[in-house]
Amino acid sequence: MFRLKPFNPETLIPPLVKTLIGVLGFQCVIAAVNLIFPPDMSRAQTASAVALDRNGAWLRALPVDNGRWRIRADLKRTDPTFVRNLLKVEDERFYLHPGVDATSILRALLSNLHAGNIVSGGSTITMQTARLLNPHPRNYGNKLIEALRAVQLEMRYSKREILALYLTLAPYGGNLEGVRAASLSYFGHEPESLTLGEQALLISLPQAPEARRPDRRPETALKARNLILTRMAAQNIIGASQAHEAMNEPMVTSRFVFPALAWHTAGRLARNVKGLQATVVTTIDANLQTRLEAMAAATAKEQGPNSSVAILVIDIKTRGVRASVGGGGLDRPGGWMDMTRAIRSPGSALKPFIYGFAFEDGVVAPDTRLMDSPTRFGDYQPEDFDRVFHGEVSVKEALINSLNVPAVAVLNRIGPEAFQGRIESVGVPLVVPKSGLKQSGLALALGGEGIRISDLALLYAALGDHGLARPLAYTLTDEKASGGHRLMRAEAADRVVSILRETPPPEGRLPGPLMKNANRPAFKTGTSYGYRDALAVGVAGGYAVLVWTGRPDGGARADQTGREASAPLLFDVFDQLQAPSQLPQAIDPNNAPQGLKMMTGAGVVRASILFPPNNATVYVEVKGAGEKLDAVRPLKLSARGVRPVEWFIDGQPLKLDDNGEWSWTPPAEGFYDLKVIDAQGHEDRSHVRVRAIHADTR
């Protein structure tokens, strides 16, 4: 009789322990292999860096190695229907398997045996991702490696992270990798909302990206897309009518060009970020940037084949750079150079800061009287741009008219070294030309030292912010930063702004905001030696705007001044800006403190002629030859004395011109006697010789 042995639980313990040890040992081996031989993620870490505008719009991306576009996929901005349909077609059990789907592999093996060749790989999305991370020839040996790598990926990343990796690395033909690059290139938009036809094409391309490229082989691409649609209908993923409708969608036959707005600035910022999360959100407004780039290109074309244009628009409140145009176009000479980063001569554009520091130090006030007359400062003798001296003028008049001698005189009082030190104290270096000198001296007032164009914009933004200087912000992260350094006291800065607001606009130009009773721009122009640089910088409506025109190679241009070449564009840029806000009003700018009415400290002076001085030879520019002078411009007469004054030429009274100024056009070459009489009856005389000089012989 068969009898069962008594059950002894202790007899099962050794086998259970052995099994447990075996399982743990296997897991340890897998963990050790995973640790010692991790998957190579280098391709995933070299995704294209993308620069976005402040609202998330694409500005520019940088290709990776060999010019390939590999743009990080963002599942939050990828059509969820596309993702769902992709998984149903390619890997229906994606969320269930551990990286390898045995059922899928068995099904593929049977299909291949039945067909007599490889017709199906049985690869999961995770296995395909492993192959994309480390490309190699397709064979059964490498398929085993893919399976092991897929398990490793599943151990290290979540399903959504693996899916994002696949949608970043999948090939879509040519130099396109990832669903974003493909969607932007083939359809002209992000993959946030895709039609069924677009989805089917994107699902089909990674399996044979070159053979099915729609821009090269549209017929093959059409067949592959429709085959996917037929398969989706057969699997009841979509309805037959949906498939039929999607098959009627036209096939794309070309590629869109990737956006390249703010080419210089966006590229520089994108190069500073790395890795799979290589996205930088800038402070730039893409809509404004687009308009200004078109304006810059048109202006550069108007000014000649070698000319370029740079524009900066800064939000004074946040210092965010709303627009940065580095040139007049990549197709122009020097167009690849970012002129907003170039170091150029500012011309007269630093004069407002000379007067601002002088206001702060109590050296002068807006109503202080200065002499604009031939003056020598040691070995340096400046002259005005128009080669005409204006006599006694106020600081306000000197700044509005950008007179050179008064600016140099004030700089001489505050000291060029002290001036440069105060500018550089807020992080703005001034660069001395290669002359062996450490400092250019008084020539600094007229552009004798170079400055980075963006730094000049920084200084003017400080003027518009009551004298507080802060770095320019190019990213939203930087824009949120606070702090800064005081360039000058608020009262001094506000006085400068108030004076600059009275600068006459360029001929025939008024900004749109001015027509709506907003503040008129407070601006200053600058022209460097040889007309190499023409600048216009201003503040209005809560913005600081800089416009530079010139040649990137530093070549001279004929008669291209800041007022004529750049100021009109400056006003056009202000027309494009919205939401004007009030600029600071100066505090009683015309009320000079007692004792500062005349910088020299002199009292009331008797009538005396400042220009033309006695026994001088005055050269008059003329347009043509002949006994009668066809002067390019009249001579501006200047005298000191109690106003009003009266002028006489060879005993004949002179009349004020249409601008209410004393100007005289000599009728011919020769000698003339000039006399001035002031309101107290004091008079002065000068005997001068007039000679003609032709404009084309300057």
Q: Determine the Cα–Cα distance for residues 610 and 390; give it in Å rounded to an integer.
A: 8
Question: Is residue 81 within 8 Å of 95, Cβ to Cβ?
Answer: no
- Helices H / strands E in the chain, number of each: 21, 25
Residue 462 contacts residue 490 (beta carbons within 8 Å): no
Cα(464)–Cα(486) distance, rounded to whole angstroms? 12
* In contact, 327 and 552? CB cutoff 8 Å: yes
Choose the catalytic residue: 90, 92, 491, 669: 90
State whether residue 533 is helix, strand or coil: strand
Do 78 and 305 touch, CB atoms closer than 8 A?
no
What is the spatial distance between Cα 204 and Cα 198, in angstroms, rounded to a whole number? 10
- Answer yes or no: are the C-beta atoms of 460 and 546 closer than 8 Å: yes
Q: Please check whether residue 690 is in contact with residue 669, taking contact to mean a CB–CB distance below 8 angstroms.
A: yes
What 3-state class would DSSP assign to 275? coil
Residue the block writes with tokens 């897998």: 30
Q: 190-194: long-range contacts at Cβ-Cβ below 8 A with a sequence spacing of 24 or more?
A: 190/77, 191/77, 191/78, 191/79, 191/82, 192/77, 192/78, 192/79, 193/79, 194/79, 194/81, 194/82
What is the rounded distance in angstroms from the CA atom of residue 473 to the CA atom of residue 457?
12
Tally Cβ neighbours within 10 Å of residue 389.
Answer: 23
Q: Which of 345, 348, 528, 638 does the annotation list as catalytic? A: 348
Residue 348 known to be catalytic: yes
Tell me how many degrees the CA angle 145-150-156 measures, rounded to the nearest 5: 130
CB 554 within 8 A of CB 532: yes
Cα separation, 469 vs 591, in Å, equals: 27
Question: How would you list the strands of the sheet with 533-540, edge to edge?
Answer: 321-325, 308-315, 543-550, 533-540, 522-527
Residue written as token pair 């396109």: 176
Would you say the C-alpha torsion 70, 192, 58, 259 has a positive or negative sign? positive
Q: Rounded distance, CA 494 to CA 125, Å?
A: 64
CA distance 330 to 451: 24
Would you please indicate which residues are annotated as catalytic (active-site) residues? Answer: 90, 348
